[in-house]
Chain A
Amino acid sequence: MINYIVRRIGYGVLILIGVNLFTFMLFFTVNTPDDMARMNIGGKRVTQDAIEKWKVERGYNKPLLWNADKPGIAKLTDTIFYERSVQLFAFRFGASDSGRDIGHELRERVGPSIALAIPTFLLGIFVVIVFSLLMVFFRNTYLEFWGVTFAVFLLSISGLFYIIVGQFFFSKTLKLVPISGFSGGWDLFVFLALPIVIGIVSRLGGEALFYRTMFLEEVGKDYVRTARSKGLSENVVLFRHVLRNALLPILTSTVAVLPLLFLGALIMESFFGIPGLGSYTIDAINAQDFAVVRSMVFVGSALYIVGLILTDISYTVADPRIRLS
């Protein structure tokens, strides 16, 4: 088991190296630092001096991979690749293109992201399970038909509509919650209520349909027939037997997304003015701050890999029949 996990982590590091090389190639060789400078300073007529100055300020004037002018080990370390890419593995992100420390920003912003993402995630799972279990409970009736129709309809609406209409209806017309913003203490609930509800609704359709098929798959199994033939009521069969057994695959499949919760909800955060990592990313994309985008790519894939490893482990914990080797 330990052996397996160590190997998985090794593979994860290998993947991260791949991600790193790939982003480095994309950001520095497909596109030269000169192009970045030109885009960042903006405007058509940018002098070469201004570009050089911009590059020196951010350390992009160094050679990409090999600095022949430096002695000894500095030949390798005094390069863009070492300073910008290799350092990421030590979680030293350096400064963003606008000059602020990325690591500091990330630590500041992780809190609000989690404050939004975790309640959305937990409540979301609860609501989806209740909704899909009810559909299974009322299967082969009109209720199920309309439940599925409703879910398909929800699925066909862009998440942006929920946000725009929700903000208009609950914040502007009814004035129940503020339109956007963030603060600590008790106010947190007021600010987060609407984004959480919308986050749940926008995922409800697709996930409810998916969970429904999972439950239906369980309902067809032998142990359910046995339970019924023992004379247990449909309620007990569904909520005690089916739910418990279907929860295992559901939980193991959600473990994979747990680490990604740290990244926050991109769209939700920026619409509701929550100073989390999602809005940070979107701001960086809009400001064409390549240093931040690169760091977020790294953090995001690192979290994804952690999720993959956790999934493998959770399989063995949930189902003792699976042995990892």
Chain B
Amino acid sequence: MPKLVFLATDLALYGLVAVIAFYIWHALRTPTLRQTWRSVLHDAAAMSAGVVLMLFLVIAMLDSFHFRPLLPAAPGAAADAAPAYSTRTLSVLDALLAGPRESREKTYSVPLGTHQYSKESMLVDGKSVRDFPRLQFGGAHLKDPAGEWRGDVITRSLTGLLGGALTAAALWLVVAALRARSAKTGVGTSLRAIWNRTTEVPWRAMLLTATVIALFAGWVAALWPYYHVFGTDQTGNDVLFQAIKSIRTAVVIGSLATIATLPFAIVFGILAGYYKGRVDDGIQYVYTVLSSIPSVLLIAAFVLMIQVFIDKNPQLFDTGLERADIRLFLLAAILGITGWAGLARLLRAETLKLGELDYVQAARAFGVSDAGIMRRHILPNVTHIVVIVAVLDFSGLVLYEAVLSYVGVGVDPTTNSFGTMINSARNEMSRDPIVYWTLLAAFAFMVTLVLSMTLFASAVREAFDPRARAFRVRRAKPGPATPAVPAVIVPAAGT
């Protein structure tokens, strides 16, 4: 039995999923909320983005169940000896991708390469030659790489793409069949409806997105066991594996930092707007002080402090991963502590307005306590602002993480993140011959994540904020609703 490990960010992510689930349940029960979210459900771009985001979320969650594998009993150990666990903490995702994780080369190799990217002295027939050595894992099954490589890659790619296409076709049929069943029509009619975009939910856009994902996933699945699809980095680690691991870091930073701002912003914003006067002055003073400090410096100051704390108390952390994780967790918390001023300002303004409305005055006249009014009458009426700001902030935070890692106050250097990947890519791009694949992988994954979130967020904003709807791009005639998302994934799939 492996030993389960619950990292701080794991627990926070479980909490996040629970909160989202609760919100969905709540939204389903509330007719007005259901109506608002329905307009998001009917937005083609947002729903395609949603498909991509779900995939990222699933990957992040798989990467958030950690355990330490049981080591085989030492030879000659007593039968009742305490079980020994590995010092390395793995996640479910690590276990699923054990192949690419463990097939470690010596140094750089190009995507789908069979040979190392730098020459080495080798013994061939008793003579010392300097040449590019074969990779230990990438293309190891080929006897004659020069002759077989092209054919092998093409056959495997085609197989993979075919597999992906079949999965996608199955998906189309399943959706069509399910729709047909509830609408009591034939599967063919249902398929045609989806294709002609006469369905309420934009199934065609979502299914097209899913098709692109399936094709890419099929292609990767066919090649990854035999090649390093995105090459390897300086220490020989698989780049695609790192990019996939980075997803969790990005999701953690984006979501936890947003969540961490909420308590401060909601409590202080509503208190300031409700009580006005002295309380308002005090709270405004605090957030002006916080927002007047340049945010990078403020974050740097905090991060330098926690680094001292971590270095001083090494005994608190069992494994290196736990230490890196607590830094990630605290970084998200710091981003929250330093970033609540903007939302608090919005909530204060909205509360000031709400406080003057008749129903609040009525509640006050009936003798409802201040806390009661804030909880029952103000909070529910400002949640739309909270939801808008929370989804809008996510993308910004993911991008910010990269900058912070560059400045040296981001995640722990051992944590996989887009920031650390870009950071290492800096030197690789000025290397000769250049190493472009780390940057490319980080770019493809990061843009897909951020763009999806941006599209989703703008649909949410349009749904909750009627004023934003006025700025929507209206085209003269309804054009093809090809979502922007698949267009972005294509370059990644084509490499």
Contacts and interface: CB of A to CB of B under 8 A. Distances in A.
Interface of A: 14-15, 18-19, 22-23, 26-27, 30-31, 35, 39, 140-142, 144-145, 148-149, 152-153, 155-161, 164-165, 167-168, 172, 179, 212-213, 216, 220, 260, 263, 266-267, 281-282, 285-286, 288, 290, 293, 296-297, 300-301, 304-305, 308
B476 A140 contact: yes
Given A145-B475, A156-B447, A285-B408, A304 B305 contact: no
Contacts of A290: 304
Nearest to A263: B294
A156 B451 contact: yes
Nearest to A159: B403
Interface stretch (B88-96, B174-182, B226-234, B466-474): B466-474
A179 B430 contact: yes
Given A19-B293, A156-B395, A160-B403, A288 B304 contact: yes
Contact of A293 (B297, B406, B455): B297
A296 B451 contact: no
20 contacts: A18-B286, A26-B302, A30-B305, A141-B475, A142-B479, A144-B473, A145-B475, A157-B443, A158-B402, A159-B403, A160-B403, A164-B429, A267-B407, A282-B407, A282-B408, A296-B297, A300-B292, A300-B293, A301-B289, A305-B292
B285 A301 contact: no
B375 to A, nearest CB: 30
A266 B248 CA distance: 27
Given A172-B430, A216-B471, A15 B301 contact: no
B5 interface: no
A278 to B, nearest CB: 9
Contacts of A153: 447, 451, 484, 488
B52 interface: no
Nearest to B455: A152
Nearest to A168: B429
Contacts of A22: 289, 293
Which of B294, B447, B474 counts the most chain A CB atoms within 10 A? B294
B292 A304 contact: yes
Contact of A304 (B294, B301, B402): B294
B288 interface: yes
Contacts of A216: 470-471
A300 B294 contact: yes
Contacts of B298: 297
A158 B292 contact: no
B426 interface: yes
Which of B285, B300, B484, B488 counts the most chain A CB atoms within 10 A? B300
B429 A266 contact: no
A62 B429 CA distance: 48
B422 interface: yes
B288 A35 contact: no
B389 interface: no
Interface string B298-322: 1011101101100110000000000
Contact of A15 (B292, B305, B450): B292
User: Would you call the interface of chain B mostly helix, strand, loop, or mixed?
Assistant: helix
A2 B338 CA distance: 33
A148 B429 contact: no
B305 to A, nearest CB: 5
Contacts of B447: 153, 156-157
B326 interface: no
A183 to B, nearest CB: 21
B292 A301 contact: yes
A95 B312 CA distance: 27
Contacts of B293: 19, 22-23, 297, 300-301, 304
B451 A152 contact: yes
Contacts of A300: 292-294, 297
A212 B458 CA distance: 15
Please name the 4 residue pairs, one residue from A and one from B, whose CB atoms are nearest each other, closest first: A18-B289, A300-B294, A301-B292, A156-B451
B98 to A, nearest CB: 30
B212 interface: no
Contacts of A282: 407-408
Given A285-B407, A297-B297, A301-B294, A158 B471 contact: no
B308 A39 contact: yes
B454 A155 contact: yes
B426 to A, nearest CB: 6
A122 B447 CA distance: 28
Contacts of B305: 26, 30-31
Given A30-B305, A152-B484, A160-B406, A212 B471 contact: yes
Contacts of B403: 158-160, 267
B296 interface: yes
Interface in B392-419: 395, 399, 402-403, 406-409, 418
Given A19-B289, A297-B297, A35 B302 contact: no
Interface in B247-296: 285-286, 288-289, 291-294, 296
B463 interface: no
B300 A293 contact: yes
B439 A164 contact: yes
Nearest to B488: A153
A35 B305 CA distance: 9
Nearest to A27: B301
Contacts of B470: 216, 220
B37 to A, nearest CB: 22
Contacts of A149: 484
A11 to B, nearest CB: 9
